[in-house]
Structure 1
Amino acid sequence: MRARTRRPTHPGSVIRLDYMEPLGLSVTALAERLGVSRKHMSGIVNERAGVTPDMALRLSRAFGTTPGLWLNMQQALDLFEAQRTPGGWEKVEALPGLSERAG
């Protein structure tokens, strides 16, 4: 698997640039529409918080997309960040015997 070099786009950026700005929506208006707090919506739009499965369902209903779109964007970003954060995961080795089973 090739390592990704460019940071994936945060879902909040997509919400802001592709939906809020063209539709003239404020954070407050979108938060009310989605049934979440303004603080929570602001965190996502300003890329300080991630998209949860619940939020993905809300966004998909509001924007006519799929929940998977939002969760896949978030997952790509989370994995990208995790790969660049030392946490001991890089020392883990494959369990013996698994390579023989894969073939």
Structure 2
Amino acid sequence: MHATTRKPTHPGEIIKYDYMEPLGLTVTALAAHLGVSRKHLSQVLHEKTNVSPVMALRLSRAFNTTPDLWLNLQRKRDLWEAEQSTPGVFDVTPLPGASEVST
């Protein structure tokens, strides 16, 4: 794996600009539709909290997408942040014979 230089987009930004704005949705309206608190949705939109599997299910139903879309966006962001904040992560090398082990 190699480090990506650009920080991946947080799912909250995708929700805000690709769904809420074109659909004319407010935070209050979308939160009510999703069945979550306005505060929780606002925290996702402002990148203060991650998209959980339950939120991914709700978003996928509301926007006719897949839960995997939302979870993969979050996973990419989480991995990038871990790469940036974990000293020595790139010093780890493959174990001899690891590539021959089947999973």
Band of TM-score, shorter chain? 0.7 to 0.9
Q: Deviations over 1:54-103 (max 9, x none)?
A: 0000000000000000000000000000000126645555445424x249
Residues 41 and 68 from structure 1, CA distance in 2 versus in 1: closer, same or farther, beyond 3 angstroms?
same
**Structure 2: tracts of 5 or more residues without a match:** none
Counterpart residue identity of residue 15, structure 2: I
**Structure 1: tracts of 5 or more residues without a match:** none
Instruction: Give TM-score, length-normalised by structure 1.
Output: 0.87
Q: Which region of structure 1 is more displaced relative to structure 2, 83-92 or 26-35?
A: 83-92
* Aligned-pair Cα RMSD in Å: 2.0
The equivalent residue for 1:77 is: 77
Distance 1:96 1:37 in 2: 50
The number of aligned residues is: 102
Instruction: Give TM-score, length-normalised by structure 2.
Output: 0.87
Does 1:23 pair with 2:23?
yes
Distance 1:4 1:87 in 2: 16
